[in-house]
Each structure stands twice: as C-alpha cells, then as structure tokens.
Structure 1
Amino acid sequence: MSKERLLTSTIVAGLAAFGAVTFVPTAVLAQDGQDEADQDATEIEEVVVVGSRIRRDTYNSPSPIQVITRDEATLAGLASTTEILQGTAITGGSAQINNLFGGFVVDGGPGVNTVSLRGLGPTRTLVLLNGRRVAPAGSRGSVGSADLNVLPSALIERVEVLRDGASSIYGSDAVAGVINIVTRNNLEGLIIEGQYNATTDAAGEGDQSRISIAGGLNGDRWHVLGSAEYYNREELTLGARDWARCPTQGFTDGTDYIDPMTGKSKCFSLDNGGVTINTLGTATVAGQGALGGSATFNRWRPNSAVTTGLTGFEGVGGGNSGYGTSVRDTFDPRVLNNSLFSPVEVSTLYLAGGYDLGALGDAEIYAESLFNRRESSQVGFRQLTLDYAQGSPLVPANIAALAPMSGNQGLNPGRNVQARAFIGFGNYDSTQEVDFFKNLVGIRGDFFLQNWEYDAYVSYTTSESTYTSEQFLTDRLIKSLDVVAAPGGTPSYLVRNGLTCRANVGNPAEMCITAPALNNATIGGDLPADFVNYVFRPVTGITKYNELVFSGGLSGPLFTLPAGEVQAYIGAEYREAEIDDTPGLDSQNGNTYNFSTAAITRGSDSVVEVFGEVEVPLLANMPFAQELTLTASGRYTDYESYGDDTTYKVGLVYTPVDFLTFRATYGTSYRAPALFEQFLGATAGFISSTNDICNDYTNSPNLNIVANCGSEGLPAGFTATSSVQVLQAGGAAAGLSAETSTNFTTGLILQPELPTGWGDFSFAVDYYEIEVSNGVDQVGTSFILSQCYGSATAEFAADNGYCALVSRNSATRALTVTNGYVNIASDLLTGVDYNLRYSVDVGPGSMLFNASATNYIRRESILFPTDPVYNSVGSLNDPEWSATASVSYSWDAWRVRYGVEWIDAMSDEELYAEQNGGVSLAANGIDASVDEYFLHGVSAQWSSDDLTVTAGVRNLFNERPPTATGYWVGGVGNSPLYSGYDFVGRSVFINLSKSF
C-alpha cells in the first residue's frame, strides 16, 4: 500500500466541508494537482496526532479524526479560531455558547465562547493547545471549560478534532471528543495579516476585524517564533435587524393579541410573556377600563382623561376585570438597544522557542508563553419596581385614599405598601475583563533505549477576571423611599419638594437622595438623575482560576513482530487547580434588588495519573490482510476529590484490500466534577411564582400537599405573588463523584482505485454510541418541591430529606429552594458521521469536492432511573441532520470556492405529544417547528510568493433565522436561540497576508 493511500484512508473520516486538507508537516495531499509519483517520493515524518501519544509515520488512527487547515478556514471567511471551532463542520449542528448568549446565564459568564462536541456540553469536550490542556477561563463562579477566546489565531497551522472518547489517553473531560490546536513550530521571517468582515445590512453593526503580526528566527541550535494579534467584534443590537425588533405571540389560529395602537400583533419583550412597565399597582378597586367599561382593577395605566374611579388612571388588569396582561405596556423601545451579539475585543501575545542542548540524548529545551486579554460587554434592559409605603408623603392624595396593597414587604420593611410603580427603567451595562496567562517549559530528547524518546514539561496557567454590572442597591432604595419633611439646615442637594431621606436627619453624611414622588412621570420612567446615580451603582467581582501541570512520558518500540514494530508509550501526570470567585459585596449580601445574588466560590482539587498506550501490528501485506493493527490504552487516576478510577480503550484497524479499511474502538471515559460543580457558592436566581407548588393547593389531588401547605398557614385558594428564589450550590459536601461513560465507534473507509484521469475518491462512514452514567447535574426546583410537599406530614414537619432544601418566608410567603449539584443524570447518544472527498484534474487546474454530514439517531437524557425516556433528536435546537459541503477549483495562483451549510428542519411537536399523552401543539395554535436552513458562501484567493489576497461573501443570500410561535420558542424575535443559525446576516470579507 502506498504511503499516500494509507495516509488518506485513515484520515478522510473527518474532512471538513471547508475543503480542508489533511496532512503531515512535510507531505500535503494533492490539492494543487501534484501527481502521485511526486507524493510517494515525499518523505513523511513521524508525528503525534490527536487521539494517541505514539509517534507514527501516518495518521492511521482507529478513531475518526478531522483536520482543518488555516488556509481553508481563511477561504471560508472565518475571522477567528472561535468561529472555526464552533462551526457546523466540527460541531455537527449541536448548539454552542457564543456571543449570542451575552444576556443569558451561562457557565463561564457573559462573553465566554466554548465548544461542545456531540451536543454533550463543553465540560465533556477537552481542548488542547499543541497536545496540552487549555485551562478554563471566564468570570463568575461557574468557570469550568476552556474559553476559545484565549486561543491564538496568527500562528495556528491546523486544528485536529478527535470524535471519540479518550480519557484513557488524556484524562478527565475527553468524553465526547478532543480538539487539538496545533501552532507552527518553525517560521523564518515575518508575516503580517489582516481581515475584515463587514455586514451588508443597511443598519450595519456586527462587523469583525483582525490584525496580526507573526515572525520567527532560526539558528544552528535554536529557534524562536511569536505573534501579536488584535481581534474586534462590534456590537450587534436587536434594533439593527428588522426581524428581531418585534417578537410576537405568533399563534397560528389568529389568537395573537392585537395592539390597538397598530392594529397588528403586539410586540412583546424578550421573554415573550411581557414585563409590566408604565403601570401602577394598587389594592383592588373599581375603575374605568382601558378597553372600556367598568370593573375592579389592581393594575392601572396613567390616563388624564379618566375622571371616574381612580382619577387619572385606566384599569389594565387584575381584580375582576377579566383583562389579561397583554393590555398593559409590555414592550419598551429601549429593549432594542440590547445586545444581540455582544461586542468583544481580544488581544493575544504568543511566544515559543527551543534550544538544542547537544546533551541528555540530543535534548531540546522548549518553552511556550501565551497571554490573552478579553474585554467584553453587554447591554440589557431593566424593570424597576418601586414600593411606596402607606402614609408616605410621596404618594398623591387620590392613591393615598385607597386601602394598602399588602403589609411588611418589598422596599418598606415594617410598613404596608400603599402602591407599587412598575417602571421601564431602561438599559444597563455589564462588562468583563479577563486576563489569561499560560507559561510552559519542557525538555525532550532521545532516551537511552534505542529509538525511545522522552518528553517532560511543567506548565502554569492563571486566569483573572474582573466583572461589573450596574445594579439597584436594595438598602439605598429603602432609604430613598423612607422620606420626611426636611428639617432646617438640611443641604439643598439632599432636599426635593421639601422632603429628605429619614437617614439624612441628623446625619447629612449619609448623602441619601430622595426617591421621586409617585406620579405619571415616575411611572413612565422619567427619573431624576441624582436619584438614579444614588441607587444604581456598579457592582464588581473578581474570578481567579489557576492550574499547575507536571507531565512526562516515554515512547518507543518494545519489540518487532512479523507485521512490524510494537510501539508503546508510558507516562505520568500531576495536575492541581483552584478557583476563587469573589462577587461584589452587594451581590454577596443580597443587596442587588430583584437580581441574582452570589456567595464566594472557593476550592481546589488535584490528581495523580499514570497511563500507557500500545500499538500492535498483527498482520501486514498479506492476502485479505493488508493491515490489521490493535491499539490499547489505559489510565489509573487518583483524585483528591473523589478517589481513584481506571479507564481503558481498545481499537482495531483492518484493511482487507487496499481500497477498504474497517475500524472500531471501545473504551471508557470519565469526567471529574468541575471545581464550580464542587464548590459553587450559593448563587441566587428567581423563577416565576407559578412554580410554587402550593398555588391553589386546596384543589390538589395529593392530600399530603394539601396538608403540608396548610400547615404553613397558607389560606385556601392561595396564589403566590413572589417569585421563587433558587439557590444553586456546589456538591462537594454531598460527596459528588465523577461521571463515567462508555464510547463505541465503528466505521469503514472506502477508497477505490479509479481509472487514470478520473481522480481520487474517498468515502467514510462512522457509527458512534456514547453513554454517560452518574452524570453531574441538578435535581431541579420542581422535583425538589414535589418531593418535599408530597412527603408524609411528619416527614415534612421534621424538615429533612428534600424539605431541608426548601424554606418559606413567614411574612412574605416567598419560597427559597436550594438546588445543588449531585450525581443523578444519564445520557445516551447515538449517531452516524458521513464524509466524502473527491479530487480530479480539470482543464488547467484541479477541482476538490468535500462533504460531511452528521445524523443523530438517539439522544436520551434523564435525571432518575425511573424517569420516562424520550428521544429528543429532531426537536428544536437538536437537529437530526446537519451537513456541510464545498467545491473548490485551483489553477496557477488562483483558487475559488463555493460552500454550503445545511441544518435540518426541527420541531417540538412530536416530542411534546409523546410527553403529554398525545396533546398537539399545532391544534392549540402553536407552531413549534422551523424549516430547514441553508447558508451559502463564495470566495476567491490569489497568491504569489509573498502575498495572498482572499475575498468573499458569507451568507450569500442573506438567509435569516427561521421563525415559529414566539410564545413557544422564546428566543430572539420569533427565532429559536440556536448557534447554528446566522443572526448577523450577509457579510463580505477580505483577508490580506504579506510575508517578508
């Protein structure tokens, strides 16, 4: 078998739709028309590629491996390493966390970008840089995965993707696969590169730019290379894209709420349920309705024309009005200032080098240093609820004459709430600054055993993030609303309308600014600047994450069999990591009004591991056995946190004839709990009051719920008015242990010998099955509440079991639930990958066609063994099929490319019906389906000896994200929040690279 054919047959399974070329450093597969004779004459060096630690002269791996080159990523118009790794070609259509999620709570904090293979989550995908781990980075307490922003782009040579479990080779986290970013190891001269991606939408926004300089020097015994680069992604706001400006209910049966102002379906806020703004809350009283007629209301909107009932206000819901929430003001134009794609600036410095000692086995000392700074930000929208106390001089007479709303709650501790203003406050900012340092030094050379080599290194990585968000401070709001007549001598700047804060009396140093009076301007969000500056303050936290690694190993031949040498690798590694997230004091103390709070997250873990790998050539160059090679690896792990474990993996490559190769692997993997899953400080968030299990409890068929809710003094027909507070916390104290998994992959590669002039054809198909057990997850608030309130009354009164995780405020009746990390979940995923490559000489040049497709067959995720099992494949954000394809043509100095990405249609209809006894969403006017989605791109490249110019168009036909019923999808506009869609729109790009 020729070296070229062996090399191609073992790698083709991962060819990306970019037209990616797979290669070893000194041998490139023919894309430029190089004939086979020239290629056979090319020397092929021994290299180590992802998925193994054994040196080979080919990529003959039993596992599917994908290789993407730098040139192909440039032709596709990808502006950063992040875009390369999160593209459909690598992720197979699974959803990713990117800058689209700036306004959502994600592990790693706002602005983080992570990668998830097989849709199993970023904590189950291991990211390497030059074969060594990339430590987590980000902000807030849930930092646990590599942030793709830290990776250098200027010196990347290729990206290798292993689509197989590999914990026995790489340790924890390599459950779904491994991504290895390989940088250039030798560079002479200087390269300056710049790229700009500009959107073509009339509103602009969302452009990307990158500029870099890279260079290297070489001596007789040394080499050094480095790069400096800057990447900028401009903000893209919701208002900049017309399809995102007006999220509607989107019911298919014509039951959307029609806005009387426009005669069209009403625009709602991002949650598609609408927040109440420009609204007054009072006790239930009679009044005139906004839609006409009289009824009783407890929600009102200013209307100076109203002279009956509550003068100056029209009723918009509550009481016995029969009005829904849609009649209220539920959309504020300032929402359109929110970040759709949050802006980011990334600066990266990378330096690497080596020096030949001429001793210790002709050893080389090598070193790498990586510095990265990310500056990201997001714009959001806030509602402000102000509680005015009974008897407050800030309340006008007509409202003060009403009965109070409720007692001793909100911003008036110890006093009744007379009225509540629901105010559309406006926009607020969040920012993150993350500094990432990675330093490594190692030594490698020849061992004293013949043909054996050693490699050992130590690395230290530190990440430090400063994160800030603007917040209303509860204590200042309370002081600001507690006002009295200003005594003589009070500084004028502390007096408004003759009133001052009670806190200022006798203590002007308090500097409290009085809240505005309750009037139409206040309800409409026209708030005094001095008041806003007093109560609305930046809250800053700091996150630190450190990782230390000592690693070393030996590789070489053990002995020789008739079919070849038995190769082996043995190694050991020590890793320790620590996290320290210190939120701002106001966040720690629960002083951020109507916003999540967080406690300190602090902890550490360490691991000692020994591991080995062997490759055994069983048969070679025999009839019906051109190759039969066995690989096996094993690892012993001892974690400080959860103890010891072992993993293994076996693989087989069988080539009966030179055009057909079979391969298979089976192995076990594990994932040690991330530090945040062990040590996360109690982080508070809120969910809707409808989740309170005691709502209307007297009608519950569960008598335990009736008894337990009643024992808390809740009245018959109780309806919760306070959101349920959810505390998330780490599970170390509960004995959290590692996830375990099994991974089976099998496939074949077909490479028939075509007639002369017909070109080269390769096809690969791989089936995979991954099963995760003992998965780290959270039980869920609903389950905790059902188990607590559904327990026997004596058990409920004892406040143990699940009830130890539940508390209810005796005054406000608000629930708090602690939802920590435990070992409960299990996942099963099966699917098939297809890859095809065809190259042929046509006219003066050569044509290359690549296509890859992923078919997810089953995805099952359950929390408990007794849970019903459903297959979620095909539901929203979980496509059954995805594919990428490209065709390129090269001649002389030119190369042109056309590419397409495809995401299958998706629907929640079938899954919902299965889970709900056949109930149809469509029959209820809900469109829970999206159409298939295509993205097209075209580009051209011209190259000379020292200059390369690439230009093209991404999203050629300006394809917009598909839409469905906004009430159901709850995404952006009426589109699901899914990273596989292009939310930016068509963009043109140009890349210039100049060598000196």
Structure 2
Amino acid sequence: MPSLRPRLACTAWRATCIACAIWTSWPAAAQTPSADEPEAAADKPQRVEITGSSIKRIDAETALPVQVLRREDIQATGAATTEQLLTRISAATSNGIVTPSMAAGATTGGISSASLRGLSGTRTLILINGRRVSAFGAIGDSVSVDVNSIPLAAIERIEILKDGASAIYGSDAVAGVINFVLRRDYRGGELSLEYGASTQGDGGIGRFSAVWGHGDAASDGYNITLIGTYQKEQGLFGRDRDFARSSVNVAHNNDTTSGNSFPANIFFNGHSYNPMAPDQCAPSVSSPFFGPAVCRYDPAPDVQLVPPTERLGFMANAIVPLGQDFEAFGEFSIARNEVNTVIQPVPISDQFALPPHHPLFNVAPYNGNATIVLKPDSPYYPTDFVQGIVGAGNPLPDVLVRYRSVATGPRDITDTIEPVRGVLGVRGSWRGWDVDAALLHSESKVTEDVNGGFPAYSKILPLLNSGQVNFFGPNTPDVQALIDDTQYHGNSYVNKTGLTSLAARVSGELMPLGGGGLGLALGGEFRRESYESSPSAAIQSGDITGYGGNFLPVDRSRKVAAVFGELNAPLVKGFEANFAVRYDKYQGSGSATTPKASLRWQPMPQLLLRASVGRGFRAPSLTDLYGPQVSGVSANGQNDPLRCGIDGNNSSNDCATQFPILAGGNPDLQSERSRNATIGLVLEPASGVSIGLDAFDIHLKNTIIAGVPVATILGDIDRFGDLVHRGPVQPEFPNLPGPIVRIDQFALNLGQTRIQGVDLDAKLRLPRTEYGSFSVNLTGTWFHRYDVQDLDGTFSPGIADANSLASANAAGIVPRWKHYLALNWRQGPWSATLAQNFQTGYRDVPGTFEDTEDPAYRYHHVSSYTTYDVLAGYRVNKQLELALGVKNVLDTDPPYTNNGGQSFFQAGYDPSYVDPRGRFVYLRANWTF
C-alpha cells in the first residue's frame, strides 16, 4: 500500500503556499498594540510550560499544535457543563464518547467522557494541571475520565494538544491530551449565579459558584484559593420532544419497538399474536411493520433524553514559598455528583437468558430463559381468541407470554459519583535548572442504587407463571401487592478506581547554540493504578432484571514505572529541533519505548512552519484484561440475517429482537501501538490576524475494542460469523441454520485504524472602531479518512458513516467537517458573541426493515447540523457583570437518524452530539469583590 506521508506533506505544502501568497499580498501593518491590548511588559519574559513538553519556554507557539481556551473563551460559549464545552472543540468528535444521556439500556454510571479524533475516552488523556487524574470507574472501563467532575467555574484555561503524546505522558495519549488548568494564586472573591431553561419551559439548569483567594506568595508568604460549586439539571423525556417520541419511522423503514409489550403478546404455533391488537394496544402501539396481529412496545417516550443531575464540588490550592527560589504547593478537590436515570419498564420473556448458575436455570418451564407460560386454566387466558386460531373443538395450547412489566414501573436508578484528588509537591529553580516533584493521589467512587422497576427473576417468574397475573389489563390490588414484593431495592454495585503516583523532573539549559540554549528535561514516574468493582450479591447472581445479565467482582491493580527525557535544540535563530523519548513498564503487560521528534522553523516573524513524528501506545486497561466475561442481551431491533424473513420465518425470536451476548475482558490482549505525524504552519500576515493549518496522520495498530457491535456482526455475517453461536436446527425450519443462542462481544485486538485530516485555527482581530472592537475565531477539523480494519483484513471507511465499524463500535459518528465559528464584539461596558456550531451530514445505518441487498437500496443521508448561539454581556461596574444568552437561537431540531433508536433507545436523533433541549435561554450574574 502506498505511504500516507506524501499525501500528508502535499496537503500541508499546498496550504503553506496559499498562506504565503496571502501574506505577500497583505498590506504591511504597524506592529503596535491595539487600544484594547496591554503594552508589553518591560520585565524579562517568563518561561512557561506548555502541554506536550517538559521544558519551559518563552515562546508559547511550539512545534506541536495546541489549542488554548481561556476563561473568557469558555464563558463566551455559554456551556453549562464541561461536557457541553468540549462539543465546541472541533478535534473532539462524538464518536467514542459516553454521556449521561446514553444511560438508557447501558450501565454507564453517569460518566461523560471526551474523545479526540474519534478515538474514545480510553485514548484521550485527561490531565488536571498537567497531571493525571483517576478514571471514573464505570462498569468495564478503568481508563476514561469523567470531564463533568471538573466544574467550569474552577477552570482557568484548557489546553488541547492535538497530537499523540506518549513520549511525554505515556499510555492513553494516542489521540492527544486535554489539560485542564485550574484557577490558582487568586486574590479577592467572586460569586457567580446562572440559571437557564428551554423556551418550552423544561430542561432547566442552575449553577452557583464561589471563589475566594487570600495572600500574596511574595509579600505574605502564602496564597490559598478556595472554590465551591453547585449545579442542578432538570430531566427531559422522549415524550417531551416531537423528534424523539416515537421509535417507528415508516419513511425510513425503521422500527426499534419491542415485541415484549403490554398488553402482552402471546406466542404459539410459531407465531406471535395479541388478543388486544390492533385497536387496544395502548400503552403499546400497533406498528405497520409487524401488521395488525401484535402490539409493540415503544420505549422512546419513556426514555430520558437528559437525566436529572445534581453536582456539588469543592477545590482548594495553596502556595507557600520555600526561600527565594522554591515553593511548596498543594491541591485538593472533592465532589459529589448524583445522576438519576429513569427508563422504560423491563421486558420479561423467553427471549432473555438466565445465567447458567441461576437457581431457576434448569427448572421447568424456564429451561435457561425468563420464560412465562400462560395456561388455559388461568382466568386471564384469552380463550375465545386462541380458540378462534386453533379452531373450535381443538385443545387450547399453553402459550408463551412476551411481557413488558409495566406493573413494576419504570426502571429508576441513582448513580452517585465521588471523586477525590490531592497533590503535594515542590517546584522551583536550582542553579538555573527548573525542578518539579509531586506526590499525587486520585480516586473515584461510583455507587449505583436501584430505586424501583427491577424485579428479581427468582420472585417474579413464579408469580408470572402462576396464572394470577393479568397480562392484558390492570391487576387486582392483592396481585399488585404481590408484584410489588418482587421488586429489588438497594445497592447495585460500588466501583472504585485509584491512582497514586510519585513523579519528578528537572529541566534547564546545557549549553548555548546558534538560536538559544540547548534545553534538556529528565524525569521519572512511578504510579499504582487500581480498579475494584463490587456488585451486590443479587447482581452477581444475575437475578435482577433490567441489567441484561450479571456483573462479577473485579479487584485488580498494577504498578507502572517510567523514565523520560526531552531535548530542545535551537540550532539557529528561528529553527529548533525537539527530541523526546519515554520508557514505560506495565506490570503484567510488558514495556514500551516511545520516541518523538519535531521541528519548528520560523523563517520570518509572520510565518511559523512545524512538523512532528512519533510513536505511541496504549496498554490494555485493567478491565480490558481482567473484566469477567458475563452474559447479557443486545439492543432492540436486531434481525438474524440467516433466519429472519426466510422460508416464511418471521418469528420474534429471530426478527426485531434482542440476542444473548457474552462480553468481558481478554487476558491475551496486546498493547495498542500508534504512529502519529503532523505538519503545518501558523501564519500572521498582519497585526491581529493568525491562520493555523495542521495536517495530522494517525496509524493505530492492535486496536483494542470492547467487542464488535451486534448490529455490525449481523450486518455482515460473512466476516463476523465466527462470533455467532447457534443452537440445533429446528424441525419446523429444516432448511435454516439453528437460532442464535449467543454472540461473543469480549475484548479483542481488531487490526488497525488509519486517520488523516487537517485542523484549522484562524483568528482575526480588527482595528478598533467607533462602533467597538470586533474579532472572529474559527476552529475546524476536516477528516480525510477514518478507516478501521475488520477481522478479514479489509478496511471499512468510517468517515461520515454511522454504519461503519469505527462509529458503531462506540457512540456517535465522525463527521467529515466540524467547526466552531465565533464573532465577538466589545464596546465600553457592552460585549456580545454570536457563534455557529456546524458539522456535516453522514450516511445513516440502514433501517431495521430495509433490504440492503436490494439493488435499488440507497443509504439514507443524515443532514448536516447547524445551531447558533448568542451571548450579550454588560458590566454594570467594576464588581458586577451581567450576561444574557440564548443557545440554539433558531430552535433547530436535530436531523433524523436511525442510529439513535438502535443504539441508545432514543429514537429519531443521535444523543451523542445533540442537546435535545432546543432553544435554551440563560441569565448569568458575576460579582467580584
């Protein structure tokens, strides 16, 4: 295969030529500060540390592409959470993220992760003040960090390194780094209050924060900064939005309803029926895709689009000088976040497997499944209806019941997240060398409690098989009381993660070179990582409905040791080379050496050229390796391509159903390996004008995935058939293979991932006018390719395609182009920002009733998505500032996609990149003292 490097270099070279042409034709401008820019300080410039390097430097524009969002930029976005803020980062796609809104049908714990380059939260390294933070601790994920645990009020700036950084930071930085720099060394006080809601009167968000700092490190000998935050978000259901309240879309041949309904469907003679269909299916529906004989349960109205959330946090940091050149510093943070998730009632039927060790597994009539049999002697047996089918005079058969347990109510859980982080360290200068050493401890605890809607199989199955329960209407108070007694209440699981590290580094200049001092950094790190999952006994047994299987305990830890070095050589004025290398040794997973080299050339003050190449790696996580393999079920709406619709078989066991799966870790996993390269330029043709273009190329090998998605497996059974296990051939369908009894979804190394694209970062600040000061900022990312290798060695294009393995393996999609464009204005005490959020459309997953083998079949194209935000601010006086903002000013509904209902139960749209609140108005007040 031809190398990707020439294409990457060609793209960057063309961009350089265009930029140079613009520069040569641009009129010369005086290099003096504008009226609203401060004069340059007369003091000697201070060296600063930039994300992606261990060497302090004066020039913040390095050989690596780093996007910086300062506090004023963050406030101008109108984001209410860190999750919302990161959607404005063009390099962060929705592919690979997890948000609290995706908890429907999944055990996420309420996490909100970040995904640079669409490579997921497991390959995007999150730092706080340049140091690691413990993983969130969701079921099956011991790597991803919950960004919503970092309150916006505490953030001074965010630095996004859009390049692999394993040579500096080690594992997990394959896609890049997001470094949250928190507020510190603050003096005075600040109170901030904000509240907003959608113009439909729901989805409200309220925020309050307080910042107080005291002491000057130089004169008082200390500084302490305290930050307190509180936030509350109201919930939103599918029934609250027109675009999300139905799982049936005839125009797109898509139906993600469930055959486990209320009134219940019954199954006999190889077919499903419902005595209440089609006119009395409520609260279920009658779907044209399944005909008038059955009722279908539509989960969309009962699924939360946004879960109610309450967040409380406290942070503190302190600085104490130790003589003239050193200082001691400390950081501490603690938070308590609660996410309440409510979704549709549980389905119970023979379509759901019991764990092999369940006490009812070998008991009739269950025989390994959550089987419900309704006998003719039950008062609720539909005698006349069944007699009309089997014929008068023929014996009435026992029927299987496919039931939606509305009698036990919606599933209701509360996730409580309690992260704690502390740092103690010293830093300073010794004989011209910068020294930094710190001890870090970070941990996270996630507790999930069941509030209702999760009956125990061991209690409810005997009751449902007793003939006392009415599956077609209301139950008597006595029977309802018996049903209520089957409910499980209490703790589901407690997960804990821990990270303890001791790290130190020194940096300084070895000798003078033609362009400055030869910089050297050396350092080392030792850390211990841990992950512990403690499910309740009931969850371990698989006895609790609604979890799709059982969770088993995990208690694993490992030690990691690393040494690293970096050399920065300014060979001549304007030209410097940087070399870095790191060696990591992971207990139980081997070692990795990751080098990196970069060049920075500034041939003239207005033009900077840069390039880098390096290697990276991601060690298999503790859950990748040691997560227990447990049984579960797939999402709704899946079809067996070898049985459904063939030889007249339209059984709900094979069509639009859920299949048993086996998921978990794999101790034979290898580390992922990556090769990263960037080449680009920064052009400043005139005062106030900056254009940055950076082409990127990522080649990831031994890609670790948590399992090939069921929809992908069934959509291409020729490639993924080895992951499907079948039972014996059934006598009624002798020409068909046996029914699916299990689909494997355990972790594996799935070949390679190839990504190419270009980042654009442009800024324009116009000269001050009588109408005020204007500036324009544009950040955008273009993906040229995103190809993922399949099991057979071929590559599936994943760019702008929700049907690809790249997108289907995680949430969301990779848009061809995504940008954030902001127009800013300031005049006296007034200020305003108008922003556009845009991403291109993409190819949708097929509808559940589309025949992709039909020559006339054409993929549905999901429309591009554009929203506009506006924010107006007014500074009343030196202490008080007010702001009024509107997000999604035009109240633009998200484009329709089949993917939302198939992946998240949230029909009609993709929740991975859309805020379903719509037009959202908010008011903010900020008072300093």
User: TM-score band, normalised by the shorter chain?
Assistant: 0.7 to 0.9
Give me the whole-angstrom Cα distance separating, in 1, the residues matched to 2:289 and 2:499. 57
Give the aligned residue type for 1:852: T
Q: 2:373 aligns with which of 388, 397, 402?
A: 388
Aligned to 1:767: 695
Structure 2 vs 1, CA of residues 782 and 33 (structure 1 numbering), >3 Å: closer, same or farther? closer
Q: 1:883 aligns with which of 819, 824, 830?
A: 819
Q: SS at 1:122's partner residue?
A: coil
Give me the whole-angstrom Cα distance separating, in 1, the residues matched to 2:640 and 2:853. 24
Structure 2 vs 1, CA of residues 94 and 940 (structure 1 numbering), >3 Å: closer, same or farther? farther
Moved more, 882-891 or 342-351: 882-891
Taking the TM superposition and a 5 Å limit, the aligned residue runs for 1:511-590 are: 515-517=468-470, 520-521=473-474, 528-538=479-489, 540-590=492-542
TM-superposed deviation, 1:239: 1.9
Aligned to 2:435: 454
Deviations 1:117-142 (A, max 9, x none): 11111111001100001211143343
Partners of 1:939 and 1:953 within 8 A in 2: no
Give me the whole-angstrom Cα distance separating, in 2, the residues matched to 1:575 and 1:404. 69
The answer to whether residue 175 in structure 2 is matched with residue 209 in structure 1 is no
The answer to whether residue 861 in structure 2 is matched with residue 933 in structure 1 is no
Deviations 1:910-967 (A, max 9, x none): 999xx97894544xxx634324423342423426322222222111111111225689
Give me the whole-angstrom Cα distance separating, in 2, the residues matched to 1:743 and 1:885. 27
Structure 2 vs 1, CA of residues 573 and 970 (structure 1 numbering), >3 Å: closer, same or farther? closer
Partners of 1:248 and 1:967 within 8 A in 2: no
Give me the whole-angstrom Cα distance separating, in 2, the residues matched to 1:900 and 1:131. 30
Give me the whole-angstrom Cα distance separating, in 1, the residues matched to 2:562 and 2:312. 35
Deviations 1:144-168 (A, max 9, x none): 2110122133232111111000000
Q: CA RMSD for the aligned pairs?
A: 4.1
Taking the TM superposition and a 5 Å limit, the aligned residue runs for 1:888-899 are: 888-899=824-835
Structure 2 vs 1, CA of residues 911 and 64 (structure 1 numbering), >3 Å: closer, same or farther? farther
Give me the whole-angstrom Cα distance separating, in 2, the residues matched to 1:393 and 1:272. 28
TM-superposed deviation, 1:86: 3.1
Aligned to 1:613: 566
Give the aligned residue type for 2:867: F
Give me the whole-angstrom Cα distance separating, in 2, the residues matched to 1:747 and 1:542. 47
Deviations 1:239-260 (A, max 9, x none): 22223223432426xxx7xxxx
TM-superposed deviation, 1:783: 12
Q: SS at 2:248's partner residue?
A: coil
Give the aligned residue type for 1:378: T
Deviations 1:565-615 (A, max 9, x none): 011110000111111112222221121236412222332222100001111
TM-score using structure 2 length: 0.82
Deviations 1:292-327 (A, max 9, x none): xxxxx6412238999xxxxx99xx999xxx993565
Give me the whole-angstrom Cα distance separating, in 2, the residues matched to 1:349 and 1:909. 43
Structure 2 vs 1, CA of residues 546 and 563 (structure 1 numbering), >3 Å: closer, same or farther? same
TM-superposed deviation, 1:634: 0.3
Structure 2 vs 1, CA of residues 132 and 689 (structure 1 numbering), >3 Å: closer, same or farther? closer
The answer to whether residue 395 in structure 2 is matched with residue 398 in structure 1 is no
Structure 2 vs 1, CA of residues 898 and 277 (structure 1 numbering), >3 Å: closer, same or farther? same
TM-superposed deviation, 1:373: 1.0
Partners of 2:374 and 2:399 within 8 A in 1: yes
Structure 2 vs 1, CA of residues 943 and 116 (structure 1 numbering), >3 Å: closer, same or farther? farther
Structure 2 vs 1, CA of residues 34 and 537 (structure 1 numbering), >3 Å: closer, same or farther? same
TM-superposed deviation, 1:272: 4.8
Taking the TM superposition and a 5 Å limit, the aligned residue runs for 1:245-260 are: 245-251=245-251
Q: SS at 2:239's partner residue?
A: helix
Partners of 1:434 and 1:463 within 8 A in 2: yes
Give the aligned residue type for 1:388: V
Aligned to 1:244: 244
TM-superposed deviation, 1:852: 1.8
Give me the whole-angstrom Cα distance separating, in 2, the residues matched to 1:89 and 1:947. 33
Taking the TM superposition and a 5 Å limit, the aligned residue runs for 1:280-429 are: 280-284=265-269, 298-302=272-276, 324-325=290-291, 328-331=294-297, 336-358=301-323, 362-385=325-348, 387-390=372-375, 393=378, 396=381, 398=383, 417-420=398-401, 422-423=403-404, 425=406, 426-429=409-412
Give me the whole-angstrom Cα distance separating, in 2, the residues matched to 1:209 and 1:239. 23
Identity of aligned residues (%): 22
Deviations 1:720-745 (A, max 9, x none): 5995321111112xx22211101110
The answer to whether residue 661 in structure 2 is matched with residue 726 in structure 1 is yes
Rg larger for:
1
Stretches of structure 1 lacking an aligned partner (at least 5 in a row): 1-12, 14-28, 257-267, 286-296, 307-311, 406-415, 484-513, 621-626, 700-714, 754-758, 792-800
Give the aligned residue type for 1:581: S
Aligned to 2:67: 66
Aligned to 2:769: 843
Give the aligned residue type for 1:475: S
Moved more, 85-94 or 670-679: 85-94
Q: SS at 1:191's partner residue?
A: strand
Aligned to 2:143: 144
Give me the whole-angstrom Cα distance separating, in 2, the residues matched to 1:324 and 1:858. 39
Q: SS at 1:55's partner residue?
A: coil
Aligned to 1:831: 757
Give the aligned residue type for 1:762: S
TM-score using structure 1 length: 0.77
Partners of 2:345 and 2:410 within 8 A in 1: yes
Structure 2 vs 1, CA of residues 658 and 904 (structure 1 numbering), >3 Å: closer, same or farther? same
Aligned to 1:602: 555
Partners of 1:695 and 1:719 within 8 A in 2: no
Give me the whole-angstrom Cα distance separating, in 2, the residues matched to 1:599 and 1:668. 36
Q: 1:277 aligns with which of 234, 241, 262?
A: 262
Q: 1:465 aligns with which of 437, 446, 450?
A: 446
Give me the whole-angstrom Cα distance separating, in 2, the residues matched to 1:301 and 1:403. 11
Q: SS at 1:56's partner residue?
A: coil
Taking the TM superposition and a 5 Å limit, the aligned residue runs for 1:657-696 are: 657-687=604-634, 695=643
Give me the whole-angstrom Cα distance separating, in 1, the residues matched to 2:769 and 2:839. 34
Give me the whole-angstrom Cα distance separating, in 2, the residues matched to 1:139 and 1:762. 41
Give the aligned residue type for 1:434: I
Deviations 1:804-826 (A, max 9, x none): 99585999976134432122231
Deviations 1:874-917 (A, max 9, x none): 557322111221111222222222111112232349999xx978
Partners of 1:247 and 1:966 within 8 A in 2: no
Stretches of structure 2 lacking an aligned partner (at least 5 in a row): 1-15, 17-31, 350-371, 391-396, 731-737, 804-812
Give me the whole-angstrom Cα distance separating, in 2, the residues matched to 1:125 and 1:141. 17
The answer to whether residue 414 in structure 2 is matched with residue 431 in structure 1 is yes
Structure 2 vs 1, CA of residues 440 and 392 (structure 1 numbering), >3 Å: closer, same or farther? farther
Give me the whole-angstrom Cα distance separating, in 1, the residues matched to 2:724 and 2:426. 52
Give me the whole-angstrom Cα distance separating, in 2, the residues matched to 1:418 and 1:911. 31
Deviations 1:434-470 (A, max 9, x none): 11111111122333xx200211111111211111234
Deviations 1:11-68 (A, max 9, x none): xx9xxxxxxxxxxxxxxx9686226xx2264653211111111111121310111111
Taking the TM superposition and a 5 Å limit, the aligned residue runs for 1:643-654 are: 643-654=590-601
Give me the whole-angstrom Cα distance separating, in 1, the residues matched to 2:569 and 2:262. 70
Partners of 1:691 and 1:724 within 8 A in 2: no
Q: 1:867 aligns with which of 794, 804, 808?
A: 794
Aligned to 2:197: 198
Give me the whole-angstrom Cα distance separating, in 1, the residues matched to 2:286 and 2:83. 47
Moved more, 166-175 or 186-195: 186-195
